[in-house]
Structure 1
């Protein structure tokens, strides 16, 4: 945070002043680098990064970039779907094992809990003329529009 950065700069300035007054130009900043890397002046282990806690197993930062367990090809054949309904406060999320651009309304209906009633299905889409819109899809064989690599949908009960 900004406070930690300012604090670290002030400490560095104080150390530079104290080393120049002693006449020795030893780099005391590097001797305390492990504490400074935590961006925490208190030394409290609870505020340290997980890799600095004794007994923690370290991991490569590159592991955060890819899918878990090294299944690189597996994630490309599935699409995340986020959908909103009238019956839930929070949106639901699931995955369809098809690529974006291959998913039809029929595929989407299979994941939705179809209790009795008729429903209207709208999807977030980008229209060249109007920008971001909700596009209603009615035909089961129509391809569902995607948005930034995923599908965002609204399911409303059709009362009319």
Structure 2
């Protein structure tokens, strides 16, 4: 009876818990996994930031282009000849704000209307096309728009859609 009890105790001990080797091996795998995840974190956060800025830029360009497309062509021509770049302010999601001092202002954009490039095969530039040059900078200071390292430039062709001459 005693011999059977000893065998039963050995089997029971063998099936309860992990050996030291198994524990160290599992801990090493867990530590390596966590180290790899932390090593990938800065790169993925940088990519996330870049994709948010790209998405916001797209929304800003779309918003500005839509507002200029709604103008009469005579107004667009007047803006082309008078120069000056009006400033627009946007929040982090690319929604236009009507006040520079709004606490959620995150981006500033300037818009310049210029003559479009000459189209292939055309003898002269079209009078029914205009080019919007949209400069977007993170922050609310217009000085950011003067430094080429701090702003991004987007160009959009604008076509006359109304019946004015």
TM-score range with shorter-chain normalisation?
Answer: under 0.3
- Larger helix fraction of residues: 2
Larger Rg belongs to? 2
User: What is the TM-score with the length of structure 1 in the denominator?
Assistant: 0.25
User: What is the TM-score with the length of structure 2 in the denominator?
Assistant: 0.24
